[in-house]
Chains A and B, each alone.
Chain A
Amino acid sequence: MTQAPDPTLLWTIIIGLAIGSFALRFAFIGLMGGRSMPPWLMRHLRYTAVAIIPALVTPLVVWPTPTGGTPSLPHLAVAAAVFALGYWTRNVLIAMGSGAVGFLLLFLFSG
């Protein structure tokens, strides 16, 4: 695990991501200037975060890395609890705190 990655590969990734992610953010705010976006595009953009982040998380929850990718009831339960608390309290910090507690429970009881 602790074997150092190939430096050429690593630095290509870092530089590529640095340039790429800046370009992504700068593309609109930097180049569009004061011009406004068409309403249909804005309507879709409103849902970027609530679509991409769940899409990223779902496979990680259903096939968790710590179990080697085997679906696990404790992991699912903790994930559902963290999500539900965040939804009901509308508070990221409470949800994060419950996530920390949930992780501790998993660490202590699921081996």
Chain B
Amino acid sequence: MAITTTKSAFWKGFRDGAPFLLVSGPFGLLFGVLAAEAGLIVPEAMIFSLSVFAGSAQFTALQLMEENTPLVIILISALAVNLRVAMYSASLTPYLGGAPLWQRACAAYLTVDQSYALSIVQFETHPQMTLSQRMAYFFGTNGCVAPGWMIATYIGALVGTQIPASWGLDFVLPLAFLAMIGPMLRTPAHVVACFAAVATALPATALPYNLGLIVAGLVGMMAGAQAEVWLERRQTAKDPS
């Protein structure tokens, strides 16, 4: 269906985002459970999810907290994991940057993996969309994901203390992340970025304070960007126009 009004743009986003409930639901559930296992009471877990609204940063903070990591290092590491949302925000700026400040503030809060991934594809393939349609689509993608995340956190925090550690639930987190990576590898440059990051990540764990994550991430990004330049050059050499 073509997007003709702001309202239809919102509902298009809503429908596109709905399937991600199956992702953010279990994710929120898992956060609630792990938070309860770490000793957080239900309101604490809820305020954590509501105010931070960034799953992977929350998981990182929780994990480091249990390892008795110093406060400053917990904050830096969790924010470093979340650095990618700053990058999402930057890459959405050409499409949404012209909106009123309050809308941009709301959009900043709602910038997560799902809303970014859906919106950037939508905006790139439909350049004729107006600014207000784009903003409506972006908010729409969070129509299910954001409430789903909160409700799932609540349920997880309620049942969390009853789940024995022997279930090995911690491993669900890397599996959930892995499931997201495959579909993101759209071009050879994406594959290069991914494998450069993986290859760096293991030796980089020797670095103190979780810095290895940042280093491996940066290596991956640079490898991807370099591969993109190289592939483009080869393409233009092949068919000069």
Question: A86-98 vs B: 1/0 string, CB under 8 Å?
Answer: 1111111101101
Is the CB–CB distance between A29 and B104 below 8 Å?
yes
The chain B residue with its CB closest to the CB of A52 is: B217
Question: B188-232 vs A: 1/0 string, CB under 8 Å?
Answer: 011001111110111011000000110011111111110011000
The chain A residue with its CB closest to the CB of B160 is: A2
The count of chain A contact residues (Cβ–Cβ below 8 Å) is: 81
**142-159 of chain B: CB within 8 A of chain A:** none
Is the CB–CB distance between B202 and A62 below 8 Å?
yes
List of B residues within 8 angstroms of A48 by Cβ: 83-84, 87-88, 217, 221
Is the CB–CB distance between B104 and A12 below 8 Å?
no
Distance in angstroms between the alpha carbons of A22 and B54 in the assembled complex = 10
Is the CB–CB distance between A83 and B82 below 8 Å?
no
Given A14-B52, A17-B52, A51-B197, do A103 and B83 touch, yes or no (CB 8 Å)? no
Distance in angstroms between the alpha carbons of A91 and B213 in the assembled complex = 26
Is the CB–CB distance between A29 and B82 below 8 Å?
no
Is the CB–CB distance between B178 and A79 below 8 Å?
yes
Q: Chain B: interface residue count, which band?
A: 35 or more
Cβ of B61 < 8 Å from any Cβ of A? yes
**10-64 of chain B: CB within 8 A of chain A:** 19-20, 22-23, 26, 36-41, 44, 47-48, 51-54, 56-58, 60-61
Q: A9-B65, A86-B179, A86-B180 are in contact. List 16 more A-B contacts (CB 8 A).
A: A21-B54, A25-B86, A25-B111, A30-B101, A33-B97, A35-B97, A37-B91, A47-B224, A49-B184, A50-B220, A52-B84, A66-B171, A79-B175, A82-B182, A86-B181, A95-B178
Q: List 26 A-B contacts (CB under 8 A).
A: A4-B39, A5-B39, A9-B65, A9-B71, A20-B82, A28-B89, A45-B91, A45-B221, A46-B225, A48-B217, A51-B223, A54-B181, A56-B60, A56-B201, A57-B174, A58-B201, A59-B205, A66-B169, A75-B171, A85-B179, A87-B185, A92-B179, A92-B180, A95-B178, A96-B22, A110-B168
**Which residues of B pack against A, CB within 8 Å?**
19-20, 22-23, 26, 36-41, 44, 47-48, 51-54, 56-58, 60-61, 65, 71, 74-75, 78-79, 81-94, 96-98, 101, 104-105, 107-109, 111, 113, 117, 161, 165, 167-185, 189-190, 193-198, 200-202, 204-205, 212-213, 216-225, 228-229
**Which residues of A pack against B, CB within 8 Å?**
1-5, 9-10, 12-18, 20-22, 24-30, 32-37, 40-62, 64-66, 75, 78-79, 82-93, 95-96, 98-100, 102-103, 106-107, 110
